[in-house]
Structure 1
């Protein structure tokens, strides 16, 4: 009984079991949506945003009360000796020598206390809190950049699969056409109306076409694996694409894209955020010239005893406490902060230069991408015309050969030209789609195009 394959959309709400290997049928939009949920780099970028959120909490925590408790239990096997002068009026004539050894302490000591420290003023804290929030913004931008890169890679991989599928379809059609011609020529040869060399010539063409078909099948398998890897789809699944190259290449959309001015690229936003972080680092280093003020408090109860069972007797325990304000004033650090401030100012100049160059590079990238896309459209139009002409030439050559007024060589050459025209047309179609993706990236609308 023929195995039944049930199509399903993995990861987007539709799943089921198939009797054999499971298949995922995808449109380009579905492939991109799946990628944004399952691509490993995108997942890691999303996790990085969670780390940034935790960093904000960590920074905020340093400005909240810091409370610690402590407990000590000490045993002195040998109580330290303190030496006192053996002189009147405290001297002891019975002790020889000019000093008196005395032991101060007990065998067991214990304490239990609580320490509280609350920051009152610290310029670095407020700058650090702002920097943590800015860092979170940077991780959000990094996530968008990672998503854009994944979208670009998946689009190109998706188009690669479609091109190889179309190459296989054309190669199979070519092989069928040549097989028919080969069978007709063999019959003519057997009937004495064609030479053996005519059969051999077509057989060579048939072998070349078969080899091209096998290469296309291998290329299709490789391109499917690349697509699954870019999407984050497990390798044990098969993908079936439900769109064609022509459907993804509407001329109206491309003409509209050529008129787009685009939007600010995420790379510019990333650089602006890095600039803000360096400014905050500069502000932080400058703020360290200011004093820091903390409120401190502690309470402790201590007890002692010469025997362990008397250490925790109530009468042996006494309490103490402290309330105060601690201020630390920086006086001289060997010009450390000054050197850091100089570094920050140079870093700001570097980032300003990078921002200027990036904006100019983006302008050049947009110009280049639009020029390439226009050129690819012209090439596609020419290759389409060549394909139509090659088909017309082949049809005429075959009719002439069948009617006895043309040569076998002419048919074989026309067939080879037709195959070449088909390959060139598919390449032009693929290059046009890739150029379209490059332009979307240059304009900064890869993600925006998907969301719309």
Structure 2
């Protein structure tokens, strides 16, 4: 019974592990957002930014420090004194052999303009890290979707060419048999052999390309390269989502990641200007200190005293040789530049949207044409194949029809990939990827 339980558990575990290696395109994106190294680093930067906020807040909290010091003079320093009217030099010890000093100091910042600006800046830094993380995720999502689609397209191309190879192999074998009867020329056999070998090479090259793309996809999503990854989304499913004509429209880019980054940079420059202005403000702090000191000739003969104090410190900047003034002017100009960058980004996003929309329309038109050409070349090849088998056509004419079909099929898959890529890039330009 125990053995059956072990076998069942092992089977369940193996099934679970296998299921984890099968990913749809959406699951591949989700997997990448959890395991891609760049996304992981962006998340770490976000955590660092959160800790930076807490670090900055800590500057305004009470600062407490303590100290303890023990001193044993091996040789006590002395001071030599000559009194007026006397030539005799007197010697006075300047310390006790045993000394103990302890103390606690507490300070509290009451007002500091730079600290207040620093708190705002720390929060803005956190927002910046969050936006960079979002942009990283968008870039990874774009790359995963394109690569995933590339693997599927290559797989479909291989399947199509394998079917072509099967038909071509049958024609070659039939032609060899006909040649043996003397009813056709050797050139017909050689022409088909040439086409067969060439097609076989193309298929093998595509298989290697597929493996390269598959490994690239594994790396992108953070999947172990040595393990097998099964893609469960079909080529038609991915293609159908991307081949619908989309009407152009005025688009609101306020939530576009690139614009949000520019807006964030404006905020950063506003804070830098505010920081330079705050340096002209006074700084106020309070402090408290208590100590316990002891001294004596031996540890058994110590005399203790407990000095304690508190106070308030005011620091007022008066004149900095106009340095603050010119730094403030530079901060103002940098803010103007940041605002210009933001305005320019809005125009760039609008321009890029129209460019990507045009690219998508062109890609869709090319795809539709490529699809029609595959149907047309397939029909031409079918008719030419019938003529060849009936002895009404030559192997050269059949080879021409084959090449035309293979070229149309290749262009079809290229057009399909370009269509998917154009749609992904259009969604990215719209800020909805």
Partner of residue 79 from structure 2, selected from 71, 76, 82: 82
Per-residue CA deviation, residues 112-143 of structure 1 (Å, 9 max, x unaligned), is: 11101011111111111111111111111111
Per-residue CA deviation, residues 48-75 of structure 1 (Å, 9 max, x unaligned), is: 1111110111011110110111111112
Cα distance between partner residues in 2 of 1:114 and 1:309: 25
Task: Provide structure 2 residue ranges, at least 5 long, that are not aligned to the other structure.
Answer: 1-11
Alignment of 1:395-414 (within 5 A): 395-414=382-401
Deviation at 1:294, TM superposition (A): 0.6
Number of aligned positions between the proteins: 421
Aligned to 1:122: 112
Aligned in 2, Cα 1:74/1:293: closer, same or farther, shift over 3 Å? same
Aligned in 2, Cα 1:253/1:385: closer, same or farther, shift over 3 Å? closer
Do 1:23 and 1:237's aligned partners in 2 also have CA atoms closer than 8 Å?
A: no
RMSD: 2.0
Aligned in 2, Cα 1:20/1:244: closer, same or farther, shift over 3 Å? closer
Aligned to 1:296: 287
Per-residue CA deviation, residues 279-334 of structure 1 (Å, 9 max, x unaligned), is: 112111211111111111100111001124434xxxx1111100110111112333
Aligned in 2, Cα 1:347/1:440: closer, same or farther, shift over 3 Å? same
Do 1:22 and 1:238's aligned partners in 2 also have CA atoms closer than 8 Å?
A: no
Cα distance between partner residues in 1 of 2:64 and 2:422: 61
- What is the TM-score normalised by the length of structure 2? 0.93
Cα distance between partner residues in 2 of 1:268 and 1:16: 47
Aligned to 2:159: 169
- What is the TM-score normalised by the length of structure 1? 0.89
Alignment of 1:364-375 (within 5 A): 364-375=351-362
Of residues 399-408 and 250-259 in structure 1, the stretch that sits farther from structure 2 once superposed is 250-259
Secondary structure of the corresponding residue to residue 239 of structure 2: coil
Aligned to 1:421: 408
Alignment of 1:274-293 (within 5 A): 274-293=265-284
Deviation at 1:343, TM superposition (A): 2.6
Per-residue CA deviation, residues 362-417 of structure 1 (Å, 9 max, x unaligned), is: 11211111101101111111111110110000111011111222222111111111
Deviation at 1:23, TM superposition (A): 7.1
Cα distance between partner residues in 2 of 1:253 and 1:159: 13
Cα distance between partner residues in 1 of 2:177 and 2:369: 38
Do 1:299 and 1:322's aligned partners in 2 also have CA atoms closer than 8 Å?
A: yes
Cα distance between partner residues in 2 of 1:23 and 1:252: 27
Aligned to 1:53: 50
Task: Provide structure 1 residue ranges, at least 5 long, that are not aligned to the other structure.
Answer: 1-14, 447-452
Secondary structure of the corresponding residue to residue 114 of structure 2: helix
Do 1:254 and 1:436's aligned partners in 2 also have CA atoms closer than 8 Å?
A: no
Secondary structure of the corresponding residue to residue 192 of structure 1: coil
Partner of residue 28 from structure 1, selected from 13, 25, 28: 25
Cα distance between partner residues in 2 of 1:129 and 1:255: 49
